Amino acid sequence: MRALSSLWRLTVGKKIIMAATGAGLCAFVLGHMAGNLKIFLGREVFNHYAEWLRHIGEPLLPPTAGLCVARLGIIACAALHITMAVQLYLLSDAARPTRYNKVDNSLVLSRTSLMMRLGGVTLGAFILFHLAHLTWGWICPGEYVAGDPYNNVIAGFQHSWLAAFYLLAMVPLCLHLYHGIWSAFQTLGLNSPRYNALRRPLALAFSLLVFVGNASIPLAVQAGVLHL
Amino acid sequence: MELNAHVPSGPIESKWQRHQFDMKLVNPANKRKYNVIVVGSGLAGGAAAASLGEMGYRVDCFCFQDSPRRAHSIAAQGGINAAKNYQNDGDSVHRLFYDTVKGGDFRAREANVYRLAELSANIIDQCVAQGVPFAREYGGTLDNRSFGGAQVSRTFYARGQTGQQLLLGAYQALSKQIAAGTVQMHARTEMLDLIVIDGAARGIVTRDLVTGETKSWLADAVLLCTGGYSNVFYLSTNAIGCNATAIWRAYRRGAGFANPCYTQIHPTCIPQSGDYQSKLTLMSESLRNDGRIWVPKQAGETRTADKVPEGERDYYLERLYPSFGNLCPRDIASRRAKEQCDAGRGVGPGGGGVYLDFAEAIGRLGRRTVEQRYGNLFEMYERITGEDPYTVPMRIYPAPHYTMGGLWVDYNLMSTIPGLHVLGEANFSDHGANRLGASALMQGLADGYFVAPATLGHYLASTKLAKVDLDHPEVKRTEEEVANRTRRLLDNPGKRSAMSFHRELGALLWEKCGMARNREGLTEALRLIPQLREEFWNDVTVPGTGESLNQSLERAGRVGDFFELAELLCRDALEREESCGGHFREEYQTEDGEAQRRDDLFAHAAVWEYAGEDKAPIRNTEQLDFEYVKPAQRSYK
Amino acid sequence: MKLTLHVWRQSGPTAPGRFETYVAPDVNEHMSFLEMLDVVNERLTAEGKEPFAFEHDCREGICGSCGMVINGRPHGKTGLTATCQLHMRHFSDGEELWIEPYRAKAFPVIRDLIVDRSAFDRIIQAGGYISARTGSAPEANAILVPKPAADWAMDAAQCIGCGACVAACPNASAMLFLSAKVSHLGLLPQGQPERYERVQRMLEQHDAEGFGNCTNHGACEAVCPKGISLDFIAKLNRDMLASALRAPVAQE
């Protein structure tokens, strides 16, 4: 038990939890994007997909139970990810009580690594906004139609400020993904001289894919390709 | 002074084995009742402290550095010898023994050397088991190389950092014992004196280098593993902190000091670049395998190396020693370099260097091969000098590197003070008048892992020691003397730093008692050194206080002892009227300038006995008998 | 050349520190950095002032004693070089240098530029060894080690324990140091029996000493005088994961 609990107690363990939950969240981001791209197939397909999500696992599970489990999983991942991040931040902050008087900027080898904490906070705020917009319907209350996500997405993105905001939010998301994925390889010890050269490009490809995929929806709405 | 080497009788091959059986043992349950002090945490000290702790003794280990891992053993580059005969090239315990006695110019004790050769194989086993990452062949077996002109490949190595890896092995073993509580480690703590009670070594007085606290420690035996005294020359390849205070204080308390004049000057070091220079950097001797050493024929040559045509270069080692050439032994290569520079043919700033040229090797082997063999050394050279040795010949000059002399010990590594054992470079060692390459690491580890743990038990089991406590008058007296000395340094109303005195002493000693010595120079040195010492005690200034970390105070104390040691070194060199190994007396050389031993008069170890302040020390001798290796003139022509 | 030095002076761990400014008027380009400091200190001594303390010993880049932060960078700007082998030819006339001690909670300042790195020793004591009782070792060639493994282990074993990795890390983490030892021993067959327990114990000690955690910045690798690779940290992480999930660990 002591060995297993070291994942919680030791800083490397905490990092491993962060990396593992991060990987789970990456899978979600990818699945979420793939599902959302169905919007290009029309109202019926998209709304049907959204409805289908409520019935995952049926008839083995009661209705919406599958979705609840998935949601709980995602929330647990996010909660652990954030808890570990906060704990590690506090530990690291305490590890250098006195700062250097002179800083050598050339020592910061990766700009994106610096953005992880700030980017993470921004991202958290965006996700809450996103939920408020499309799950709870608080942002554009007049236009929100429960059970018609096709309408809700397109009506929302027809406001150019909202489309622009979503586009902008993809930047911290993808930077976070880019460094996070590479970092997770490192933290989970997925490291071998044979494949190391592939890790950065893979992280880049993944984050670009997410960027392009997600950005395509507000852009398409603004361009008039998608409309009500 | 009685000098009984306690060499066991019988044939040399079985002496150690039989001695191990004959020695008394300490009952395992009783071991924890004994307290042992180990001073120094290098190969000898680290290995001894770890082994003794593991055996069950209560060990206190001291080092002046911030961690036992920093001991200067860490800087040894080349490798460690062992008679494993993995290469099937005819090596054996007997051959390693023979080579070591001969290489030492027949001034070592045969029985000790044989034991060293015998234990060499166990050392490699031990170190491999600890995880020392020695170089390997593709089949997974250990790799060897030939080193320092040896005719067999018996040197084990870990890149150019063998000393580092062996030391870390010992340090890790020590760390395990520290965690287990058998060894108490006292880092940043310097030994300043030895406590002798009823004729036996019973403890030490230390200064805590952070708080300045002076403290006494008592024990049943004391092991000094404090390294050599090359820093008496100021500029040497030793670390800045290396010092002779521990052995010198022990000498003043009655331990015999053997052969102080045996100092080894390493031929391939980077020359001095200015007066500010604080140390000299050694480059592995392996460079001489492919590099050619030369100087311009014309004294006072001003052209750069590439402008000196082939015909105007003197490859003096190849000329003088056609069969060994650039690979002749260390002492010869060093002395010949000095000769050239003294004659005004030296190169580089101040004419203090000779060329070590790889142009021919690069032409013959290609730059790639040279890079593979010496790449890291070339990088180091360039880092220090700013010159690229692929295009400009390296400049090298000899530098003090190792001291074969040290406290006299018997076969059990015990000095003339009962209970005071001396290990590694600090003792007068198994190397005679000259040490072979890759043998220092071997000796330190043999002493630390295998010899001392066995012989110490014998001493403890066969000696009845009275109980003493910190209130003992002798403890108080020793503490008082240490405190007085420290106070004297701190309160001195002088003007000059200890470092400036050290620099002056070093230059004088290097000039008069360096690579070549003569009666006139030594007599002169014996006149000048006491004068300078007098000046030191009158004019040294030590800023700061004694109650905190004070590097100036540390330095001053060490320099004070170097002054006394330097005098003994010159005295020993003067009285040894022969040339042997690292000791070259210009009066005693053959017609073609080779060292001339005088076996009839000097086949002995000279053991100096302290006679008191301002009294001439007494020279005792231990006769050396050569039963198995017959003394002969070394020839490398 | 002439340099202006701002050197951190601090009389003890809890005392407040401050920069003091000294001028080094006659710096020779062949001097090492520490020799340049020697000259400044010699002058202070001659003026009856107390020289500043800095740690140094072998002055050939192997003992790991020296280490200070020069203009925000441990061991100065050249890379793959310990402070003692940094030479003044890399500086130019009129340059201003800020010289500070390593700053980390686990490395309290002892005096001026000297810090207490005994936390490193305690990490090794926690498990950075292979247990091999003196005299009990099997014949050396009975243990075969593939050459690539031996070479790789040696890459890690080169660490000199100077602490520059901690000093450079934005989180003051000692992961590069720790991973070098864990990898050195874990790559060799001799190190297998204690492999996973070692990781757990050393990490436990690392955290207890107050070092921060690794966020994969790579600043440690950039300043390491021996060029120890970040890959060893990944190896360490993998061993940690294995030790937590499946490997037998005897400390329950």
pLDDT tens across B198-224, in order? 999 999 999 999 999 999 999 999 999
Do strands B189-197 and B200-208 pair parallel, antiparallel, or not at all (unpaired)? antiparallel
* Inter-axis angle of helices B473-491 and B551-575, nearest 10: 100
| pLDDT, position C252 | 47
CA distances from B240 to B279, B396, B551, C56 (A): 7, 21, 11, 8
| pLDDT, position B330 | 87
Q: Do C240 and A186 touch (CB under 8 A)?
A: no
With an 8 Å CB cutoff and a minimum of 3 pairs, decide whether chains C and A touch: yes
Nearest by CB to A92, from C212, C233, C245: name it. Answer: C212
Structure tokens at B43: 């190969």
Overall average pLDDT of the C154-168 stretch = 98
| pLDDT, position C249 | 54
| pLDDT, position A39 | 96
Closest CA to B225 of B59, B354, B83, B371: B59
> CA A139 to CA A155: how far, in whole Å?
11
- Give the tens place of pLDDT for each residue, B328-342: 888 889 999 999 999
More confident residue, B593 or B64: B64
Do strands B292-296 and B354-357 pair parallel, antiparallel, or not at all (unpaired)? antiparallel
Nearest by CB to B276, from C35, C131, C133: name it. Answer: C35
Nearest by CB to B276, from C31, C56, C138: name it. Answer: C31
- Per-residue pLDDT for B120 more than 70? yes
Structure tokens at B457: 């038990």
A103 exposure class (CB count in 10 Å sphere: 0-12, 13-18, 19+) = middle
- C interface mutation test: which of A4, A7, A11, A12 has the most C CBs within 10 A? A12
> CA A27 to CA B6: how far, in whole Å?
77
3-class secondary structure, B37: strand
- Cβ contacts of C138 within 8 Å, gap of 6 or more: B125, B129
List domains and CATH numbers for chain C: 3-110 (3.10.20.30), 118-244 (1.10.1060.10)
Q: Do A95 and C217 touch (CB under 8 A)?
A: no
> CA B581 to CA C158: how far, in whole Å?
34
- Cβ contacts of B387 within 8 Å, gap of 6 or more: B381, B394
Q: Which of B149-158, B410-419, C26-35 has the lowest mean pLDDT?
A: B149-158
- Give the tens place of pLDDT for each residue, B357-368: 999 999 999 999
Cα-flanking dihedrals φ and ψ of residue B422, to 5°? -130, 125
- Cβ contacts of A22 within 8 Å, gap of 6 or more: A81, A180, A181, A184
- Give the tens place of pLDDT for each residue, B431-476: 999 999 999 999 999 999 999 999 999 999 999 999 999 999 999 9
Distance from CA of B383 to the nearest CA of C (A): 7
Measured between beta carbons, which residues in chain A are less than 8 angstroms from residue C19? 101
Q: How many CB pairs under 8 A join B and C?
A: 221
| pLDDT, position B393 | 97
Report the residue of chain B nearest C138, measured CA to CA.
B125
| pLDDT, position B178 | 98
List chains touching A (3+ CB pairs under 8 A): C
3-class secondary structure, B296: strand
DSSP string of B333-383? Answer: HHHHHHHHHHTT---SGGG--EEEE-HHHHHHH-HHHHHHHHHHHHHHHHH
Task: Assign B150 a pLDDT band (cuts: 50, 70, 90).
Answer: confident
- Give the tens place of pLDDT for each residue, C120-159: 999 999 999 999 999 999 999 999 999 999 999 999 999 9
Q: Do A7 and C244 touch (CB under 8 A)?
A: yes
| pLDDT, position B428 | 96
Overall average pLDDT of the C169-181 stretch = 97
- Per-residue pLDDT for B370 more than 50? yes
| pLDDT, position C248 | 66
Distance from CA of A57 to the nearest CA of C (A): 30
Mean pLDDT rounded to a whole number for chain A: 93
Q: Which of A47-51, A97-101, A142-146, B559-563 has the lowest mean pLDDT?
A: A142-146
Sheet (strand B214-218) strand order: B189-197, B200-208, B214-218
CB B483 within 8 A of CB B440: no
- Per-residue pLDDT for A129 more than 50? yes
Q: Which of A109-113, B453-457, C103-107 has the lowest mean pLDDT?
A: A109-113
Question: C211 CB near a chain A CB, below 8 Å?
Answer: yes
Structure tokens at B219: 């024990």
The single-letter code of the amino acid at B602 is: F
- Give the tens place of pLDDT for each residue, A168-198: 999 999 999 999 999 999 999 998 888 889 9
What would you report as the CA-atom Rg of chain C, rounded to the nearest whole angstrom?
20
Measured between beta carbons, which residues in chain C are less than 8 angstroms from residue A17? none
Task: Assign B429 a pLDDT band (cuts: 50, 70, 90).
Answer: confident
Distance from CA of A98 to the nearest CA of C (A): 6
> CA B51 to CA B64: how far, in whole Å?
21
Q: In DSSP terms, which residues pair with B619 in a beta bridge?
A: B608
CB B174 within 8 A of CB B41: yes
What would you report as the CA-atom Rg of chain A, rounded to the nearest whole angstrom?
20
> CA A223 to CA C172: how far, in whole Å?
49
With an 8 Å CB cutoff and a minimum of 3 pairs, decide whether chains A and B touch: no
Closest CA to B230 of B33, B15, B510: B510
| pLDDT, position B126 | 98
- Give the tens place of pLDDT for each residue, B175-203: 999 999 999 999 999 999 999 999 999 99
Task: Assign C113 a pLDDT band (cuts: 50, 70, 90).
Answer: very high
The single-letter code of the amino acid at C116 is: D
Structure tokens at B375: 């790449």
CA dihedral for A185, A191, A195, A198, sign (positive or negative): positive
Measured between beta carbons, which residues in chain C are less than 8 angstroms from residue A9? 204, 207
More confident residue, C250 or B355: B355
Q: Do B281 and C144 touch (CB under 8 A)?
A: no
- Per-residue pLDDT for A51 more than 70? yes
Task: Assign B371 a pLDDT band (cuts: 50, 70, 90).
Answer: very high
CA distances from B537 to A215, B193, B233, B493, C232 (A): 82, 19, 19, 10, 53
Structure tokens at B155: 């040197």
Question: C191 CB near a chain A CB, below 8 Å?
Answer: no
This prediction has a pTM of 0.97
Distance from CA of B86 to the nearest CA of C (A): 9
ipTM summary value: 0.98
Helix, strand, coil shares, percent, chain A, to 5: 75, 0, 25
Cis status of the peptide bond prior to B543, with omega within 30 of 0: no
| pLDDT, position A2 | 81
3-class secondary structure, B185: strand
Q: Do C104 and A96 touch (CB under 8 A)?
A: yes
Report the residue of chain C nearest A102, measured CA to CA.
C72
Task: Assign A110 a pLDDT band (cuts: 50, 70, 90).
Answer: low
Q: In DSSP terms, which residues pair with B265 in a beta bridge?
A: B400
